[in-house]
Structure 1
Amino acid sequence: MTAPVVVLLAHPRPGSFNHALATRVVGTLEAAGVPVRFHDLYAEGFDPVLTAEEAYTTGERAEAFLAAEPDPLVQRHRSELREAGGLVAIHPNWWGKPPAILSGWLDRILVPGVAYRLDDAGGAPESLLSLRRLLVVNTSDTTEERERTLFGDPLDAIWRRCLAPYLGEPQVRRLVLRVVADAGAAQRAAWLADVAAEAERLFG
């Protein structure tokens, strides 16, 4: 059986282009027979806030504490990620980072005992996940030239360099769609087709 793909959407406004992208990706994967675990984080009311105990517990005690997570939605997300063979993250570029709700998802889901284990503080992570592919789709209202000149590409560093080692070193593919605010219907339709094609190529 094909391993499930977790699809995350992080945009607060229903009807956004990010929602259209997520709908197309989910539909494409389902049509290809790929099991999908779709999560609209804002619609679900995902709580991104760590408690003090979660944030400062380390080592084996951390794994025991986190395993007793009382929030069933957090437990569900962790369980689905452990079983997944792929992950799709769809979100806007806000100040060079994901929206806060997705940053909080990373904090609460990619925890010791679920995503990784460390032999010692500061050491290399032993990933507990088996993600083979990661597709990140970012929308942006900054031109490529301005972003490269002034900011570099912090989102690429976050997903490719900071997170991939904790996800099982999957193949990473990232698509940046810009400038969304100025894009007409034809351009948006082309982007939807491109993202669907990439999702099918990676996971279908």
Structure 2
Amino acid sequence: MTATAPSVSPASAWLQRYYFLRAGVSIAWIALAVVVGRQNAAVGAVLLVLYPAWDALANYIDARRTGGLGANGTQMFNFIVSVVTAVAIGVALTSGMVATIKVFGVWAILSGLLQLATAVRRWKSAGGQWVMILSGAQSAAAGAFFFKQASSGIALDVTTVAPYAGLGAFYFLLSAIWVTVRNARARSAVKSG
């Protein structure tokens, strides 16, 4: 029997790997932000640009594996929004962290809503989407919170984004585990059937 049993769709097998990858990258980003970015503003700035740039790349790769950007409109828009945001963060960094966190907040709202829409679209074809719906909604809410933080007068740096990235890592990891369990049950059903 192959690693992917006939009862496990290629899309479900892909999402299992994809969600683990997204969780791992988020965890690595957090570690870099906390350990290096907090002390080195230049590294922190690069990490802030890389966060939405990685999201753009991840959406592109995921869409490509599931029919391309043309067949996945929500991911195409998320890709575009994330690319534009990476550039906008680079520009906002020249004005300071308040502007940067506000741009990040707008992106968190838009990308969260697009992630939620992607999960709704995938509901019937893939497991773990309830977690992605929660993640998308949380991202949109976090975007509004970034505006509050940016206007509060507190010290802002790359670690301002770390809790948001941590929740993202949690949701991707939970989705990965959910899909893994679902796939294992499907394989077990084939063997016992």
TM-score, normalisation: structure 2: 0.28
Higher RCO, 1 vs 2 (CA within 8 Å, ≥6 residues apart): 2
TM-score, normalisation: structure 1: 0.27
Q: Larger % of strand: which? A: 1
